[in-house]
Amino acid sequence: MKVMSYMAQWRGIAKEAMDRTAIAVKFLCCLHITDAYFCSPTHIYGPSMLPTFNMVGDIVLAEHVSQRLGKVRHGDLVVVRSPSDPKKSITKRIMGMEGDTVTYFDPMLGDATRVAVVPKGHVWIQGDNIFASRDSRHFGPVPYGLIQGKVFFRVWPLDCIGVPGQ
């Protein structure tokens, strides 16, 4: 009789452990899907987006739906896979869409400006601080497929919480 009660007790413990494990796995799957397909936090740092973002770092939320639906436009802040280092992500502002003619200041040529036409399937991105930004002026138009998300809300620092640039 005692052996049966111990077995029943162990079965109850094992069932509860499996139930809790299933809940944790479901939560982690939901978290992964949310992070990969809907919205994720991103840490932005460096001088290229001054004064919009702090040099020491801001944490923003980037949604991943707009670029899939083709709903990014001029002036949007986007997180992009870096064309020069695919292990990194960069945050820049869209300055031109496909078919646009972009006139830009080239710091490598002194005071000279240059003109570029954005090809189909590409965007032209630039940092807000043109003197300290590696962007389309250096590596050309960026394929639309490298856009990872559109920044829509600043979370940190708390004194700057809200929509960036407002």
We report the CATH number of the domain holding residue 99 as 2.10.109.10
Give the number of domains in the chain: 1
Q: Is 92 annotated as catalytic?
A: yes
pLDDT reported for residue 132: 82
pLDDT reported for residue 140: 84
Candidates 48, 89, 133, 136; catalytic one: 48
Residue 7 in domain: no
pLDDT reported for residue 2: 61
Residue 28 in domain: no
Question: Which residue range forms the structural domain that includes residue 49?
Answer: 41-160
Residue 30 in domain: no
pLDDT reported for residue 23: 92
Residue 27 in domain: no
Q: Give the chain's residues under pLDDT 70.
A: 1-4, 107-108, 158, 162, 165-166
pLDDT reported for residue 36: 82
pLDDT reported for residue 123: 93
Structure tokens at 92: 């820049």
Q: Is 48 annotated as catalytic?
A: yes
HEC letters along the chain: CHHHHHHHHHHHHHHHHHHHHHHHHHHHHHHHHHHHHHEEEEEECCHHHCCCCCCCCEEEEEECCHHHHCCCCCCCEEEEECCCCCCCEEEEEEEECCCCEEEEECHHHCCCEEEEECCCCEEEEECCCHHHCCCHHHHCCEEHHHEEEEEEEEEECHHHCECCCC
Candidates 89, 92, 133, 136; catalytic one: 92
Residue 33 in domain: no
